[in-house]
Structure 1
Amino acid sequence: MSVSSVDDRQRAARLLLRHPLIRSTDEERYRLVRRYSSDLEEWFEINTGWAMHADSEVVRLEREPATVADPTHPFATRRGGAVLSRRRYVLLMLGLSVLERSDSQVALGRLAEQVIAAGTAPEFAAAGFSFDLSTREERSDLVAAVQLLLEWGVLVRVAGDEQDFVHKTGDALYDVSRRVLSQLLVTRRGPSTISAQTLDDRMVAMRDRGAAPTTELRNLRLRHTLTRRLIDDPVLYFADLDDEESAYLRSQRAALCRRITEFTGLVAEIRREGIAMVDLDDDLSDVRMPEKGTEGHVTLLVAEFLARSGVAEHFVASLVAHVRSIAPDFAKYWRASALEADAAADLVATSLGRLSALRLITRTGDIVRVLPALARFALAEPTILGGRKP
């Protein structure tokens, strides 16, 4: 394979990792991924266990996370990165269930009526969920769910505007894409076939692959799990692995890292504590550091403070006090509201959320524990060279 072909295949693989569902209407991306669909399908199946579906309308990588117990990466909209509230998430799921049984076209008002009807089931009331269209906030929540469906291509707008619905001045009409809708759910088992009652038990059952009866199959699953974690997690710490995973990684580390690098362009940085697959192009991460804006700057300053402290654990209150104390020094760089008395707590909460997502710290209640990868932010005081002599 030529160098240009390898580069294009890497672009296709990275594109599919960023956008696991690509419609044929997205012509440039769709053509690139379809060109290398055989290579992509084979690599993902062998190395991650992720199935890939490609047809004349859609390409779908059935990307299962290595774990569903990580709270540091909540479901967020691509536009603006806002985390979906509990109610909006429920409305999104109800909307999908309604669309499964809808006609090929649906009006937003009709969709709303059916969502309200579906939300009256006793299970929702028992969980404290209720919904109607009496307030603008509730209509905005439904529209936020609909806009996600538009972004994914489940719905295609034919006429009208969602904001007219929010303001109660109009409606909107959509085509429903059955093909895209059928490709959204990624589970080993359908939720309706599972008898478990608790959320955790149901999540385990949906992902259950059964027992691995042979050594070969156990090793294959270990490869899948570790490759997923190396691709998905900012840092894979050796201390987080069980005995089987540790033994497999010790013997196969070079091969695993090489395969990922060759196929995605991610570069392995291997340290005593773990492995990070570094994205030199910086386009695969949903959380960046450093990042522009007040929150981005505060996150960097908090990281530097934690890394240089030499202390493994800190109270959140001490970090709030630190940010409050340095705020006047950066007044001209931060937005005005960041200098208010109660702003420091919110800024620290946002910073700690980002650092947790990047696997640089863990937070348990009011205690923050520093993880090894944070050491790279322990910057020394700058040395100015070539300054004027006294």
Structure 2
Amino acid sequence: MTTAVTGENAAQRRTALRALLAKPLLTAGADDETLRLVRRHVADLREWLAAETGWRLVVDTDSARLFKTAGNGDDGTHPARDGKGRPAFGRRRYVLACLALSVLERADAQITLGRLAEGVLVAAGEPELAEAGIEFTLSRRDQRSDLVAVVRLLLGLGVLERVAGDEDAYLTATGDVLYDVRRRVLAVLLTGGRGPSTVEKSGHVDRLAELTSEPVPDTDDLRNRALRHRVTRRLLDDPVVYYDELTDDERGYLVGQRHAITRRIEQATGLVAEMRAEGIAMVDPDDELTDVRMPEQRTDGHVTLLVAEYLARRARNGEPVALDRLRTHVRVMAREHETYWRRGVTEPGADAELLAVALDKLRALRLVADVPGEPPAVIARPAIARYAVQAPTIRTGPADRSTRKAHPK
């Protein structure tokens, strides 16, 4: 009985940790069952996260917040979206999100979308934003749409809870929306190691680095602990961790400790380590801990797979492939698969749109990287080799003859 209970507890802890990795902010109402599971095992989860990643876990009656620190601060391949399949957030939406949070911080327990928009409009009038080229008015539908996208993101995060009304009515100027402001959730939304108002440096990259900076360790034990945290974060967050993208000390530590580190991750999360000469990927057999899936069905998924296969054939030589060359390949594939793909794939300019979607996904999965310079080009990364197509193998036996079709590695 004791063994069964221990095994059940381990499985529950694994489920709770996987839920936090997939969704670092769990809220009451939307995630009640998972939240109960996290509360039940919060002590063990905090202990493992503190030892292996250095991430904090804060749990209260309304939420469970995993304060993650990105292992790679300059990765822009996983932008915010206000729902699956929605356009990625751009610069203006991110600015509006920050302004909306500042308005909500001072708001009453309830607020309407119209009142929120007015507050954002006032905040957007600051001279510093105007000098940075940020403009926001309520007169244009596209800008109102940007604000609605921000609100829907906050609804998904649990910061706002809709009481009455609909955002589409606001867009068409036929109605308004009333929200409850969930202050406990709002208070744990920011995940930086310090308050944004204390950051003194200028420039986006420098400010972000200062916002997420951590104390510099001054002993060998603390340095090794910091290295373990950094490489474990990368293994948990990145689809692939390539050795050539790590610092010398990170690479040396990971090469020497890779079996111990990946074993601890496997036991805690159920991920499976795939170790190659070029790096390590933690693979999820259940295909749950990712926001980008491949392969996928439908047109965009098929295009991405075909582009990956095309690039995989060139991965061994390490040769850059110009985007114009890829566009030509996509045009050929569009004519070949026109019957099965969505309408308009052979129209002028459609190849560029299809290729852009495919490359965004391949970048996010760390399967390609951009090559600086002209003409624009990408280079296939080693992990893309799994999408290379092998030649058919004909097997002849004494009693039967079978053919194995070409398949991804």
Q: Deviations over 1:91-143 (max 9, x none)?
A: 11100001111111112111111110000000110011111111222222211
- Alpha-carbon offset, residue 220 of structure 1: 0.8
Identify which of 358, 368, 375 aligns with 2:378: 368
Structure 1 residues 255-270: aligned runs within 5 Å: 255-270=260-275
Task: Give 1:21 shift.
Answer: 0.9
Q: Summarize deviations over 1:61-108 as a string: whole Å, max 9, x none.
A: 001111211122222334324311322221111000011111111121
CA distance in structure 1 between the partners assigned to 2:283 and 2:62 by the alignment: 33
1:285 corresponds to 2:290: yes
Q: Which residue identity is paired with 1:379?
A: V
Distance 1:277 1:368, change over 3 A: same
CA offsets per residue over residues 334-356 of structure 1, 9 Å max, x none? Answer: 11211223211221122122111
Q: Counterparts of 2:384 and 2:165 in 1: how far apart (Å)?
A: 49
How much does 1:307 deviate?
Answer: 1.2
Separation of aligned partners in 2, 1:3 and 1:227? 24
From 4, 28, 50, the equivalent of 2:8 is 4
1:336-380 deviations in whole A, cap 9, x for unaligned? 211223211221122122111111111125121121111111111
User: Given the alignment of the two structures, is residue 14 of structure 1 paired with residue 5 of structure 2, yes or no?
Assistant: no
Shift of 1:387: 7.1
Q: Which of 357, 362, 372 is matched with 1:350 structurally?
A: 357
Mapping of residues 162-201 of structure 1, within 5 Å:
162-201=167-206
**Partner SS for 1:336:** coil
CA distance in 2, matches of 1:43, 1:70: 25
The CA deviation at 1:166 is: 1.1
Corresponding letter in the other structure for 2:296: E
**Structure 2 counterpart SS, 1:276:** strand
1:143 to 117, 131, 148: 148
Deviation at 1:250, TM superposition (A): 2.2
Alpha-carbon contact 2:300-2:357 (below 8 Å) kept: yes
2:287 and 2:87 map into 1 onto residues whose CA distance is 20
Q: Does 1:332 align with 2:342?
A: no
CA-to-partner distance for each residue in 1:258-282, whole Å, 9 max, x for gaps? Answer: 0100001110011111111011111
C-alpha spacing 1:327/1:382, structure 2 compared with 1 (3 Å)? farther
Residue 359, structure 1, aligned to residue 363, structure 2: no
Does the 8 Å CA contact 2:295/2:305 hold for their aligned counterparts? yes
Matches of 1:81 and 1:68, distance apart in 2: 24
SS, match of residue 209 in structure 1: coil
2:392 to 377, 382, 385: 382
SS in 2 for 1:341: coil
**Kept in 1: contact 2:82–2:150 (CA 8 A):** no
Is the alpha carbon distance of 1:257 and 1:387 closer, same or farther for their aligned partners in structure 2, counting shifts above 3 Å? closer
> Is the 2:164–2:177 contact (alpha carbons within 8 Å) kept by the matching residues of 1?
yes
Q: How much has 1:2 moved relative to structure 2?
A: 2.7
Report how far residue 211 of structure 1 moved: 2.0
Does residue 86 in structure 1 map to residue 91 in structure 2?
A: yes
- SS at structure 1 position matched to 2:282: strand
Separation in 2, partners of 1:213, 1:68: 23
Contact 2:82 2:149 in 1 (8 A): no
Partner of 2:332, secondary structure, is helix
- 1:14 deviation in Å? 0.7
Amino acid at match of 2:377: I
For 2:14, what is the secondary structure of its paired residue?
helix
Instruction: Please give the alpha-carbon distance, in whole angstroms, between the structure 2 residues aligned to 1:134 and 1:78.
Output: 25
Matches within 5 A, 1:58-97: 58-97=63-102
Specify the SS of the correspondent of 1:211.
coil
Matches within 5 A, 1:292-303: 292-303=297-308
Structure 1 residues not aligned, in runs of 5+: none
Tell me which amino acid in the other structure corresponds to 1:33: V
TM-score of the two chains, using structure 2 as the length reference: 0.91
What CA distance in whole angstroms lies between the structure 2 residues aligned with 1:322 and 1:162? 41
Structure 1: distance between partners of 2:182 and 2:333? 52
Match of 2:106 among 96, 101, 109: 101
Moved over 6 A (4+): none
Quick one: distance in 2 between partners of 1:134 and 1:176? 26
Say if 2:309 is the partner of 1:304: yes
Measured in 1, the distance between the counterparts of 2:180 and 2:93 equals 22
Whole-Å Cα distance in 2 between the matches of residues 117 and 356 of structure 1?
A: 37
Tell me whether 18-27 or 225-234 shows the greater mean CA deviation: 18-27
Is 1:227 matched up with 2:227? Answer: no
Deviation, 1:7, is: 1.8
Q: Which residues of structure 2 form unaligned runs of 5+?
A: 396-400, 404-409
Which of 316, 324, 342 is equivalent to 1:317? 324
From 341, 346, 351, the counterpart of 2:348:
341
Check whether the contact 2:81–2:153 (CA below 8 A) recurs between aligned residues.
no
Output the CA distance in 2 between the equivalents of 1:245 and 1:85. Answer: 32
Secondary structure of 1:275's match? Answer: strand
What's the CA shift string for 1:196-238, capped at 9, x where partnerless? 1211111111112232111111111100100000011111111
Closer, same or farther in 2 for the Cα pair 1:15/1:382, shift >3 Å?
A: same
For residues 387 and 251 of structure 2, the distance between their equivalents in structure 1, rounded to whole angstroms, comes to 27
Shift of 1:285: 1.0
The farther-off stretch of 129-138 and 88-97 is 129-138
Instruction: Tell me how many residue pairs correspond in the alignment.
Output: 388
Q: Does 78-87 or 208-217 show the bigger shift?
A: 78-87
